[in-house]
Structure 1
Amino acid sequence: MTDAREIQVHMCAIGIGNGHDVLRATLGSCVGIGLLWRERGIYGLAHCLLPDAAVRPEGIGAKYVTQAIPSLLSLMQVQRASHGALEAVLAGGANMVHYARRPTHAPIGEQNVRTAQTLLEGLGVRVVHEDVGGECGRQLLIDCRQHAFVVKKITRTL
């Protein structure tokens, strides 16, 4: 029997894990941002609803991608000099709504992914895996004990 602790990361939330923890988020248009700091054995997962806010929110949170990434870094106690040691995983960002005509703006899932990519690149954090876009949901799991992640697609049923 293992002492694994499953941490379900709900919408607008962050989970931090180590040891035998398993972080899990189920995503549609939201983007899941996983940070893996293998050398320290610390892992983080944010479940972000929107790319950015009109007024930047204060404190720790994950409603917005622009809030989630600094929050993850803070909770994982990652200093700027260690950004290069991190690996990032992005999942989700699907188009879950069928439009009769494409809207004038990019779908929210696409905006979420683009914002995460831009911020991570600017911080020098390497994205090692992306499973984003399309029209299906996904589940992102980070197994802290195995130092591994997996993205599972959730197919639509009509």
Structure 2
Amino acid sequence: MTETREILVHMCAIGIGNGIDHDVLRATLGSCVGIGLLWRERGIYGLAHCLLPDAQNRPEGLGAKYVTQAVPSLLALMQVQRASHHALEAVLAGGANMVHYVRRPSHAPIGEQNVRTAQQLLETLGVRVVHTDVGGECGRQLLIDCHEHAFVVKKIARTL
């Protein structure tokens, strides 16, 4: 019997897994957005845990601090060519409002910005979003079971 290999994807990080090794990708999210990419026909999966939507000066190289950095990084690490974007499925989780404001700021909360940026970028790239569980005021945990070709989003109740 093969053991499951759990890959914890921490803030500003990316995890890549496959079904052969029985990988399970896991991220615990608040206002950060988790972007999961599922390439079922190849058995390759990726998960990015993004802190912010975009940077004024885009960082070079692979990374996941920013949504705009994470999506291209996921595609590169999963070795997905532009012609295969249609074969991917995306899952978005997180983007909660974890701060109670006395007065709502003039800009949208960071969680909303993270989700909006991810949705727009994936749409532009032709990657189909098959599931979203975002917003609100509770945290979430996104799990991708690479061997079972499945994902689940669990809500984490907010405690005062």
Q: Flag whether TM exceeds 0.5 (same fold).
A: yes
Deviation of residue 124 (structure 1)? 0.3
Structure 2 unmatched runs, 5+: none
- Counterpart residue number, 1:45: 47
Paired with 2:29 and 2:83, the residues of 1 have a C-alpha distance of 31
Residue 31 of structure 1 pairs with residue 53 of structure 2 = no
Equivalent residue in structure 1 for 2:126, among 121, 124, 127:
124
* 1:123-142: CA deviation from partner (whole Å, max 9, x where unpaired): 00000000000000000000
Residue 144 of structure 1 pairs with residue 137 of structure 2 = no
Q: What are the equivalent positions in structure 2 for 1:1-158 lying under 5 Å apart?
A: 1-19=1-19, 20-158=22-160
Number of matched residues? Answer: 158
SS state at 2:34 partner: strand
Structure 1 unmatched runs, 5+: none
What is the CA RMSD across the aligned residues, in angstroms?
0.6
Paired with 2:28 and 2:84, the residues of 1 have a C-alpha distance of 28
Q: How high is the sequence identity, in percent, across the aligned residues?
A: 89
Q: Which runs of 4+ in 1 moved over 4 A?
A: none
TM-score, structure 1 as length reference: 0.99
* 1:3-22: CA deviation from partner (whole Å, max 9, x where unpaired): 21000000000000002000
Deviation of residue 78 (structure 1)? 0.1
Paired with 2:2 and 2:157, the residues of 1 have a C-alpha distance of 30
* Equivalent residue letter for 2:8: Q
SS state at 1:36 partner: strand
TM-score, structure 2 as length reference: 0.98
* Equivalent residue letter for 1:137: G
